[in-house]
Amino acid sequence: MLDNDNPVVEPPGTNPENPRIPTEHTKKNVTARKVDTVDNIQELGATEIPTAKTNVHVMTIIGQVEGHMILPPQNKTTKYEHIMPQLVAIEQNSDIEGLLLLLNTVGGDVEAGLAIAEMIASMSKPSVSIVLGGGHSIGVPIAVSATYSYIVESATMTIHPIRLTGLVIGAPSSFDYLEKMQDRVNKFVVDHSSISERKWKELLFKTGELSRDIGTSVIGKDAVSYGIINEIGGLSHAQMKLNELIKIQKETKGLKQ
């Protein structure tokens, strides 16, 4: 069945400009699962090759958070319609016990971001987020939506007011609309982290920190000291915390029954 007995190392010729060896191996990649099953029965006498199952699923929020508008393809985006069903699936699947959220986002659609944050916050399963690189603007509510949040020391979060870039606000109601939208974000962050509303607003409207905007760029340790993020830490910390949260969840469930 296998042309290449080392499945990790691919034979040369997978380059589109130089398809020297158009192997069987590459040809059978996009096929129905049925074919795979038949192969497995023939070769191994089993319907399904056992794979390692993990109880923790991972979700990456990278680039722009994309909602109602499709952004030009050179933007790397995390799409609302991809994330939401995955969250539902994680909540429903009994084999999955926790969610690890990796954030490196520049911000994006406020409503899509808030929706993702609300979904994560309302999940019954424990979630842990890690802010890596940057978790800016709408990335802040998503980061705090997890049960427990981590930030690596080198990561930064830009906290600044919501605005419509490049548009002239023509009516007072637009101001009100923006203000209400800002209030929704403020309320979410204050409710889901230990920062006070006063401190949050102070960071939001600070002048002199950012060169082209008002607001603050909060770096790793500061995010923890302001109470936005729970702790400084990386992957191993997050994994350990998640295991701990899963254990607590199991114990409390056991008590209820």
Partner 1 sequence: MTLWSILPTELVLSNVDSPPPLYEEIQCNHIKLIVEKISPTQCKVSRLLTTDPQDYLHPEIQPGKILTYKPIL
2 binds partner 1 (CB under 8 A): no
Q: List all residues 6 or more positions away from 61 whose beta carbon is below 8 Å from its beta carbon.
A: 78, 83, 101, 102, 103, 104, 105, 116, 139, 142
Q: Pairing state of beta strands 98-108 and 56-66?
A: parallel
Give the nearest distance from C-beta 86 to partner 1 in angstroms. Answer: 5
89 binds partner 1 (CB under 8 A): yes
Name which of residues 105 to 134 contact partner 1 (CB under 8 A): 106
Q: Which of the following is catalytic: 127, 129, 137, 193?
A: 137
Q: Are 187 and 179 in contact (CB under 8 A)?
A: no
Site string for partner 1, 28-47 (x = CB under 8 A): xxxxxx--x-----------
Decide whether 7 or 170 has the Cβ nearer to partner 1: 7
26 binds partner 1 (CB under 8 A): yes
Name which of residues 190 to 229 contact partner 1 (CB under 8 A): none
Q: Would you give the DSSP letter of residue 54?
A: -
Segment lying near partner 1 (by CB under 8 A), choices 72-80, 142-150, 212-220, 244-252: 72-80
Q: Are 143 and 149 in contact (CB under 8 A)?
A: yes
239 binds partner 1 (CB under 8 A): no
Of the candidate residues 1, 3, 10, 153, the single one contacting partner 1 (CB under 8 A): 10
Q: Would you give the DSSP letter of residue 11?
A: P
Q: Which of the following is catalytic: 127, 129, 145, 160?
A: 160
Tell me if residue 127 is catalytic: no
Alpha-carbon gap, residue 112 to 49, rounded angstroms: 38
In terms of Cβ atoms closer than 10 Å to its own Cβ (0-12, 13-18, 19+), residue 140 is buried
Q: Are 128 and 150 in contact (CB under 8 A)?
A: yes
| Residues involved in catalysis | 137, 160
Residues in contact with partner 1 by the rule CB under 8 A: 7-8, 10, 14-16, 25-33, 36, 51-54, 56-59, 72-74, 82, 86, 89-90, 99, 106
